[in-house]
Amino acid sequence: MEHEAARNLTFSLMELSDCEEAAIIENQLFSRPWSRKALEESLGREESCYVTAKAGSELLGYCGLYLTFDEGFINQVAVKPSCQGQGIGKQMLTFLLAKARERGMNACSLEVRVSNERARRLYASLEFEESGIRPRFYEDPVEDAMILWKRW
């Protein structure tokens, strides 16, 4: 069922006040979630860029990347379980990639579990290309990571 608030989304740079809700989403989605403190520390780094998707004041998702020279590495993409499958992740990533371009990036990479078909379809829809495998990259459970790149 569609989350009612998902119809009126706003996208913005993540703020420290978003980290508590982001940590809750982390715990719902990932076997090795980041803590609120880890999110706050990442957010405070000059070479990072995090964005959020909100409906009103409710955080529906967030994603972030680290910037190195002229490339970005997307280290987190998360959408509340109840809001997945509604295009929020794609819109949010499009916003994040625009921010990366504004900051002088000409490419972004990421890693995703090879079994995460939904995420891989999302990245393919944004023209990320598969470029290799990192064997046994993930833990809990152990699994290979697919490496993806988007260049512009």
What is the per-residue pLDDT across 66-79, written as a single tens digit (0 to 9) for each? 999 999 999 999 99
Q: State yes or no: pLDDT of 6 exceeds 60.
A: no
Banded pLDDT at 88 (limits 50, 70, 90): very high
Residue type at 144 in one-letter notation: D
The Cα 11–Cα 54 span in angstroms is: 7
The Cα 67–Cα 6 span in angstroms is: 29
Banded pLDDT at 2 (limits 50, 70, 90): very low
The Cα 6–Cα 58 span in angstroms is: 10
Is residue 152 within 8 Å of residue 128, measured between CB atoms? Answer: no
If you ran DSSP here, which 8-state letter would residue 83 be given? Answer: G
Q: State yes or no: pLDDT of 141 exceeds 70.
A: yes
Q: Which tens digit of pLDDT belongs to each residue from 118-130?
A: 999 999 999 999 9
Banded pLDDT at 44 (limits 50, 70, 90): confident
Q: What is the pLDDT of residue 50?
A: 98
Q: What is the pLDDT of residue 109?
A: 98
Q: Identify the CA nearest to 61 among candidates 39, 84, 38.
A: 84
**Residue range 7-19: average pLDDT?**
94
**Residue range 92-114: average pLDDT?**
97
Q: State yes or no: pLDDT of 5 exceeds 50.
A: no
Q: What architecture does CATH give domain 4-151?
A: 3-Layer(aba) Sandwich (3.40)
Would strands 71-79 and 107-113 be described as parallel, antiparallel, or unpaired? parallel
3-state secondary structure 14-73: CCHHHHHHHHHHHHHHCCCCCCHHHHHHHHCCCCEEEEEEEECCEEEEEEEEEEECCEEE
If you ran DSSP here, which 8-state letter would residue 86 be given? Answer: S
Is residue 147 within 8 Å of residue 134, measured between CB atoms? Answer: yes
The Cα 51–Cα 95 span in angstroms is: 8
* Extents of the domains making up the chain: 4-151
Q: What is the pTM of this model?
A: 0.93
